[in-house]
Amino acid sequence: MSSSVGPTATPPAGPRAGAARAPRNKGWVSGMVLFAGVVMLVNGILEVFHGIMAIAEDDVFVSTPRYVFRFDLTGWGWIHLVIGALVALVGFFVIQGAAWARIAGIFLASLSLIGSFLALPYYPLWALVIIALDVFVIWALCVYRED
């Protein structure tokens, strides 16, 4: 009769006492955060241009008279300009690796997403592209964990 408790028993699988702990991040996650920072930087700059377009020339945008969320396009342009500048600035700090920038990036990308949703009737295709980019940025910044 043999017992599995003796010296021939196989030790349980798992990390050894002296072995280094495996990192929680894989390379692609860190790369995705870098990519999210670049997307934020570019998206912010494009939103600044979007805001300038709305401030300078209201007739560039489609006018929807019966839209529930109707705004003055000049005021709306200033909102896009400010949010875009903040997104670009925080995107720069996400690229630099600042931990606070990831939290601020999630918040600003959420604001940008809501703003783009509200701007759907004025510039629909552009708003959908920005919404998709903002969703990706939020996801990439949320899944990142420090090693």
d(CA 1, CA 20): 39
User: 112 vs 119, which has greater pLDDT?
Assistant: 112
User: 6 vs 82, which has greater pLDDT?
Assistant: 82
Residue-level pLDDT at 59: 63
pLDDT (tens digit per residue) in 38-66: 999 999 999 899 889 888 876 666 566 66
d(CA 117, CA 128): 8
Average pLDDT value for residue range 101-118? 92
Average pLDDT value for residue range 130-135? 93
% residues pLDDT > 70 (the chain): 69
* Residue 67 in this model has a pLDDT that exceeds 70: no
Reported as a pLDDT band with limits 50, 70 and 90, residue 74 is confident
Instruction: Assess contact for 45 and 88: CB atoms under 8 A.
Output: yes
Give the HSE-up count for residue 27: Cα atoms under 13 Å, Cβ half-sphere: 0
Averaged pLDDT score across all residues of the chain: 79
Nearest to 48, CA basis, from 82, 12, 96, 72: 82
Look up the pTM and report it. 0.72
Most trustworthy range by pLDDT among 15-29, 40-54, 60-74? 40-54
Residue-level pLDDT at 11: 55
Residue-level pLDDT at 88: 96
